Amino acid sequence: MKYNPSLIEKKWQEKWSKLNVFKASIDKTKPKYYVLEMFPYPSGAIHMGHVRNYTLGDLVARYKKAQGFNVLHPMGWDAFGLPAENAAIENKTHPANWTYANIESMKTQLIRMGLSYDWDRELATCNPDYYKFEQKMFLDFFNAGIAYKKETLVNWDPIEQTVLANEQVIDGRGWRSGAKVEKKKMKGWFLKISDFADELLDEIDNLSNWPEKVKIMQKNWIGRSNGAIIKFSIENSPNNLKIFTTRPDTIFGATFIAISPQHELSKQIAQKDSKAAEFIKFCESHSIKEIDIEKAEKHGYETGLTVSHPFKNDVSLKIYIANFVLMDYGTGAIFGCPAHDQRDYDFAIKYSLDIIPVIKTGETLPFMGDGPHINSNFLNNLNTEEAKILCIKKLSELGIGEEKVTYRIRDWGVSRQRYWGCPIPVICCDECGEVPVPIEQLPISLPQDVDLNKKGNPLENHNNWKKTKCPKCNKNAIRETDTFDTFFESSWYFARFTDINPSTPFSEEAIKYWMPVDQYIGGVEHAVMHLLYSRFFMRALKYVNIINIEEPFISLQTQGMVCHQTFKTKNKKWLHPNKVRKEDNEYFHVDTKEPVIAGRIEKMSKSKKNVVDPQQIIENFGADTARLFMLSDSPPNRDMEWSSSGVEGSWRFLNKLWKFVINLPKDKKLKKLPINLSKKNQELISIMHRTINDVTKAIDEFHFNLAVASIRSLFNALSSYEINEDDDKIVVIHVTENLLILINPMVPHLAEELWSKLENKGIISNENWPKVDLSYIQKNSVKIPIQVNGKVRAVVEIPIDSNKNDIKEIALKEENVVKFLKTSPKKVIIIPNRVVNFVV
């Protein structure tokens, strides 16, 4: 009988579903385990990144179930977002139709992979049954002062008359119109994440099961810094200019002042100075992307205004309006110290400003390190930290400055001028301002009839929908036509999964039992935004008494990308891998037979055509092969390369395993292990226990590729084992059954089928994880290297825990060691059970 994955995989998927094997419900007699993979955007078809993510999560879910946990493993759809609108315009369909059709086809694909989801908890964020709850949450935030409206800058496409996403701005131009993008001021809704900045920052240290890199990135993103506000008095004017600096110690090196084009003072200047107005306009003829702002050439406009230096009586500093000063950080104004800051240095060179070093260094300027201060009056000889403290003290005494903590993080702008998102439940009244929609009127559903081809915001164009009455004064008013950022939906979906009842977002009981998520898995690209917003959202919900947790994810794992070799034709056009054939290390086009240029291995992307369709792999090899390859090749957190030969290797292994088990002798009586094991059986059992130990450890540490490697080793031992007696049969079947339980989380369909072939009653998905018998894995001898000057000259096997003298004696008997020991050693290093090193 041949291994036929498509047959057995379908069979077991149906069986699991029929038996409700993965249906989760609260059971207080068992410890719970909530495993969650980041839910997908329903783009239409799963890609290899999904396959990887969901295979990792499924392994964890099945493994934890075997370990006796009550597992919750749900799946849903991050269904709002920009692509649906673009697709709707291109394909002349409705975003809802497109999205729901995509969900259906992707769900079919996920089911085909054999993932152990409790599909009863499926949700789609574009469904009013989901987003109605977040409208209520928003109103609670609004009433608690967490949500507010303010003016902000957006990317404006003057031709399309629409706001563009950063993604839609390419080289400063709109992706469809090609028009130069402008910054435009617009009012939008914000959530006060900055109020929670300290807590979000401080609690990072308690996230002990998060990758260090993610924690560092979040810390830097929040960017708490201790600095100072300094008031500079503007010369020939009664007014002050407040600047923020993280380096008050360099105040004596200050040679200019720069303010943001959006600064209040810039506006005032522009009113009287048309050139200044022009310069500000020039600064606003760019996108709002940080990367564009930072990489842009530094420009400044000399305003003619000056301030006096707080500690240097006769020195005045020119005020510039500068394109690189951000209004959102600090006070939107800085002093420039060119000697000790790269940007200030570049600016000073460009505008021929003074460069005054205030830290002693032998190195070239700008110097960003620490050292004794010079040219700094009362700060001389102090280091940076001391000088900061003293400078702030002096500023406060003079009443012209104070210590100030600032944050890099800005409040979360949740407004989007888009159709396919959750409507923001507010009514804008000329008389009463922003009025919350009364709760009994929720949900505010999206209108179905909408014209996406018109310029501008579709909801704003929709007169019927937007016109309403003010709940307060009953006069004519209009609805808020902005919709939520889709990060809003993904900031609480994990809580909704715990209990999808129709009347409340979740129940207290379910939250108490299931939350927080024990293991969250997703791409590293979400390291900051999605994960930080979710952490904030839980705190905000707690603040308004909707939930009682702070940290949503106890343990986090971030997976790397799935990559593939790229190919180009000789005309430099990207070529799909299945159009390429390799012969004698040369690549050829399948159709034209022309040589093909093999390029770099890069992240799979449609634009470079280096994609492999999971569907195709599953049809050709089965889900188990795809899953096994995903797990066996690379550690989860690293990028992996998809290679067809690697897939074939996994396929071959499963075939070998299949054939091996099918051909085992079957005898129901052969179940109980004999009491006295022969030496060879003891050895096999001991390999098995070592494997159980290694696989368990590898899975716990998220090194799934090592788990696969150990299982393969165990199988190598099994397949070279010779069965002679009845006892041997029992031992082999016993070891094989344990191997199947170990491999079940990886290739569950094959494991189920073979488990049933071994005439077991229940299903393997309900079996318990095998226990390690430590007595089998203790060794009584150890191989250690003997080094001379750090180079290995011999390897000896000695009893474990031998004393140092014995080890030395054995080592000195080695011929090759003696050969290199021309004189008696100066020093002998003996680390028991590890190494011997003779230093000569």
Partner RNA sequence: GCGAGCGUGGCGGAAUGGUAGACGCACUGGACUUAAAAUCCAGAGUCCGAUAAGGACGUGGGGGUUCAAGUCCCCCCGCUCGUACCA
Residue list 352-371, contact with RNA (CB under 7 A): none
State yes or no: residue 291 binds RNA (CB under 7 A): yes
State yes or no: residue 620 binds RNA (CB under 7 A): no
Size of the site for RNA (CB under 7 A): 102
Beta strands in 635-726 (DSSP E): 640-641
State yes or no: residue 742 binds RNA (CB under 7 A): no
One character per residue 63-82, x = contact with RNA (rule: CB under 7 A): ---------------x-xxx
Residue list 128-157, contact with RNA (CB under 7 A): 152, 154-155
State yes or no: residue 416 binds RNA (CB under 7 A): yes
CB atoms inside a 10 Å sphere around CB 809: 11
Q: What's the Cα-to-Cα distance from 293 to each of 26, 283, 416, rounded to whole Å?
A: 51, 9, 22
Q: Which stretch binds RNA (CB under 7 A): 55-63, 626-634, 684-692, 736-744?
A: 626-634
Residue list 549-588, contact with RNA (CB under 7 A): 561
Residue at token pair 């082999």: 732
Of the candidate residues 643, 693, 756, 760, the single one contacting RNA (CB under 7 A): 643
- 457, 416 in Cβ contact below 8 A? no
Instruction: Indicate the residue among 10 and 289 with the shorter CB distance to RNA.
Output: 289
Three-class DSSP labels, 403-420: EEEECCCCCEECEECCCC
* Complete DSSP assignment for 481-508: --EE-TTTGGGTHHHHTT---SSSSS-H
- 294, 324 in Cβ contact below 8 A? yes
One character per residue 165-204, x = contact with RNA (rule: CB under 7 A): xxxx-----------------x-x----------------
State yes or no: residue 417 binds RNA (CB under 7 A): yes
What's the CA gap between 239 and 242, in Å, rounded?
A: 10
State yes or no: residue 835 binds RNA (CB under 7 A): yes
Least distance to RNA, CB of residue 526, Å: 6
Residue list 390-409, contact with RNA (CB under 7 A): 408-409
CB atoms inside a 10 Å sphere around CB 292: 16
State yes or no: residue 158 binds RNA (CB under 7 A): no
One character per residue 495-514, x = contact with RNA (rule: CB under 7 A): --------------------
Residue list 698-717, contact with RNA (CB under 7 A): 703, 705-706, 708-709, 712-713, 716
One character per residue 97-126, x = contact with RNA (rule: CB under 7 A): ------------------------------
State yes or no: residue 45 binds RNA (CB under 7 A): no
Instruction: Indicate the residue among 41 and 117 with the shorter CB distance to RNA.
Output: 41
State yes or no: residue 492 binds RNA (CB under 7 A): no
The vertex-251 CA angle with 307 and 294, nearest 5°, equals: 85
Least distance to RNA, CB of residue 211, Å: 8
Least distance to RNA, CB of residue 364, Å: 12
Count helices and strands (H / E) in the chain.
26, 33
State yes or no: residue 827 binds RNA (CB under 7 A): yes
Q: Which stretch binds RNA (CB under 7 A): 129-137, 590-598, 667-675, 824-832?
A: 824-832
- 423, 444 in Cβ contact below 8 A? yes
Of the candidate residues 83, 172, 447, 674, the single one contacting RNA (CB under 7 A): 83
Report how far Cα 603 is from the mean position of its chain's Cα atoms: 16
Question: In a 3-state reduction of DSSP, which class is residue 603?
Answer: strand
State yes or no: residue 445 binds RNA (CB under 7 A): no
Q: Is the peptide bond before 366 cis (omega within 30 degrees of 0)?
A: yes
Instruction: Indicate the residue among 516 and 599 with the shorter CB distance to RNA.
Output: 599
One character per residue 269-288, x = contact with RNA (rule: CB under 7 A): -------------------x
Residue at token pair 């301002």: 433
CB atoms inside a 10 Å sphere around CB 688: 25
In 3D space, the residue among 510, 552, 505, 508 whose CA is nearest the CA of residue 531 turns out to be 552
One character per residue 751-790, x = contact with RNA (rule: CB under 7 A): --------------------------------xxx-x-xx
In 3D space, the residue among 14, 4, 2 whose CA is nearest the CA of residue 114 turns out to be 14
Least distance to RNA, CB of residue 737, Å: 21
Q: What is the CA radius of gyration of the chain?
A: 33
Sign of CA dihedral 67, 71, 77, 81: negative
Q: Which stretch binds RNA (CB under 7 A): 45-53, 100-108, 638-646, 801-809?
A: 638-646
* Residues 227-251: b if buried by 16+ CB within 10 A, e if exposed: bbbbbbebeeeeeebebbbbbbbbb
Residue 158, Ramachandran bin (φ over 0: left; ψ between -120 and 50: alpha; else beta): alpha
